[in-house]
């Protein structure tokens, strides 16, 4: 049977019949091959070394599907891997569900699957089970992906808001706002788009190294939708403490800053897909910074601020370039375009 009779996905490719089988056996399995998946059983069986299991899921609807620095496939793996990573887990296995709009070119699907496979390999996780559905033209936007991920928590690691105390330092692993701006400017066809690269990357390597080599890490979070502003506000609320950050210490690529200014966005509120915010004790902050800086994904890491006791309600405050102070608010709906 020829593996490819059609150029585009038909509704019948999701119908559970011959075409479905062909899609799975000829297009999906060869890209993602591993023992668990090859069985095509209704559920994957996993042997896990610990009972400290983390489980997460996320759906990806990014537009455009391919952008500078990544694509929806890479994003779908990184996003879920990173959610496990910042929980202090080593990701083990992912599920992959595709909702495909009838008419999607096979060529695009194959590029996306290749990217899923590549990123999974890079993150040392396997895609162990999955599902494919097709929907009528117009019922989805080309392709939506859901991944769920399972990970094993590193021994002795227990992160949480309640561990945070005044004096702890806030570290970011690199430049902010690259992902969101790459997507938005590509969507709007802005000329500097080619210089803007999404930071989309799997962070588990970096986070595991940080947790294994230091002891003072209290909390980690990847600042995706809502950016640093949302993440820091969540931390402040969760810890019931305030946070002070320095504008001059916050790493931002000049092109990204220029793009944000033109588009009227605040770099602090824009999504990242390959950055981690670490809250670490004052004593361990320098060690964390050094580990980040030696890692390819953390070369531009900085200590950007610290935790302080709140006078009233937990607040995130920015010390601006001119030494002024202003509040960094939890971003509200209008500031949050669909970018993941």
Partner 1 sequence: MREKILEAQRFMNAACKKLGRRINVMEVCGTHTVAIFRSGIKSVLPERVKLLSGPGCPVCVTDQGYIDAVLQLADRDDCMIATYGDMIRVPGKGGSLETRQSKAAVKVVLSSEDALQLARDNPDKKIIFVAVGFETTTPATAVAVKEAAGQGIDNFYILSGHKLVVPAMRALLSAKNNNIDAFLCPGHVSVITGYGVFREIVEDFNRPCVVAGFEAVQIIEGLAEICSQLAAGKLELKSMYPAVVTEQGNTAAQEIVAECFEPADGYWRGLGKIEKSTLRLKEKYGKFDALRQFSITETPVKEATGCRCGEVLCGLIDPPQCGLFATSCTPDDPVGACMVSTEGACAAWFKYARKEKRER
Judging by DSSP bridges, how do beta strands 70-71 and 53-60 pair with one another?
unpaired
Q: Report in angstroms how near the CB of residue 315 gets to partner 1 at its nearest.
A: 7
Interface with partner 1, residue 313, by CB under 8 A: yes
With contact defined as beta carbons under 8 Å apart, do 204 and 84 qualify?
Answer: yes
Q: Report in angstroms how near the CB of residue 234 gets to partner 1 at its nearest.
A: 14
Euclidean distance between CA atoms 195 and 28, whole angstroms: 33
Euclidean distance between CA atoms 250 and 48, whole angstroms: 39
Euclidean distance between CA atoms 131 and 142, whole angstroms: 16
Of 7-15, 18-26, 174-182, 326-334: span binding partner 1 (CB under 8 A): 326-334
Is the omega angle on the peptide bond into residue 64 within 30 degrees of 0, that is, cis?
Answer: yes
Beta-sheet strands, E only, within 20-63: 53-60
Contact track, partner 1, 251-280, x by CB under 8 A = -------------x----------------
Interface with partner 1, residue 329, by CB under 8 A: yes
Residue 71: DSSP 8-state: E
With contact defined as beta carbons under 8 Å apart, do 86 and 203 qualify?
Answer: yes
Interface with partner 1, residue 332, by CB under 8 A: yes
Interface with partner 1, residue 333, by CB under 8 A: yes
Choice from 323, 338, 339, 340 touching partner 1 (CB under 8 A): 323
Interface with partner 1, residue 325, by CB under 8 A: yes
Q: In a 10 Å sphere around its CB, with 0-12 CB exposed, 13-18 middle and 19+ buried, how is residue 254 labelled?
A: exposed
Judging by DSSP bridges, how do beta strands 53-60 and 143-153 pair with one another?
antiparallel
Interacting residues with partner 1 between 223 and 252 (CB under 8 A): none
Contact track, partner 1, 273-312, x by CB under 8 A = ---------------------------------------x
Interface with partner 1, residue 321, by CB under 8 A: yes
Interface with partner 1, residue 1, by CB under 8 A: no
Q: Which residues bind partner 1 (CB under 8 A)?
A: 264, 312-313, 315, 318-327, 329, 332-334
């Amino acid at each position: 049977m020829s593996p490819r009779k059609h150029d585009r996905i038909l509704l019948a490719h999701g119908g559970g019949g011959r075409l479905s089988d062909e899609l799975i056996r000829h297009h999906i399995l060869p890209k993602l091959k591993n023992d668990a998946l090859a069985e095509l059983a209704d559920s994957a069986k996993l042997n896990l070394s610990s009972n400290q299991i983390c489980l997460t899921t996320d759906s990806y609807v990014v537009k455009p599907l391919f952008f500078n620095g990544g694509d929806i496939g890479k994003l779908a793996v990184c996003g879920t891997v990173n959610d496990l990573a910042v929980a202090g887990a080593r990701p083990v296995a992912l599920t992959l569900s595709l909702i495909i709009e009838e008419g999607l070119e096979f060529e695009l699907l194959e590029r996306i699957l290749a990217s899923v496979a590549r990123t999974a390999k890079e993150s040392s996780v396997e895609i162990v089970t999955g599902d494919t559905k097709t929907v009528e033209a117009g019922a989805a936007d080309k392709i939506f992906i859901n991944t769920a991920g399972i990970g094993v928590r590193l021994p002795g690691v227990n992160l949480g808001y309640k561990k945070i105390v005044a004096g702890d330092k806030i570290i970011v692993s690199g430049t902010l706002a690259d992902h969101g701006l790459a997507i938005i400017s590509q969507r709007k066809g802005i000329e500097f788009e080619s210089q803007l690269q999404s930071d989309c990357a799997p962070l588990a390597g970096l986070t595991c190294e940080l947790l294994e080599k230091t002891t003072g890490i209290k909390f980690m979070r990847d600042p995706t939708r809502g950016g640093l502003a949302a993440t820091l506000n969540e931390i402040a609320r969760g810890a019931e403490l305030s946070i002070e950050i320095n504008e001059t210490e916050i790493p931002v690529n000049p092109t990204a800053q220029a793009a944000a200014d033109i588009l009227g966005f605040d770099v602090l509120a824009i999504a990242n897909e390959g950055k981690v915010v670490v809250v670490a004790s004052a004593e361990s902050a320098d060690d964390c910074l050094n580990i980040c800086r030696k890692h390819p994904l953390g070369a531009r890491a900085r200590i950007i601020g610290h935790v302080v006791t709140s006078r009233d309600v937990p607040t995130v405050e920015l010390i601006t370039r001119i030494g002024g102070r202003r509040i960094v608010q939890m971003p509200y709906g209008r500031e949050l375009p669909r970018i993941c």
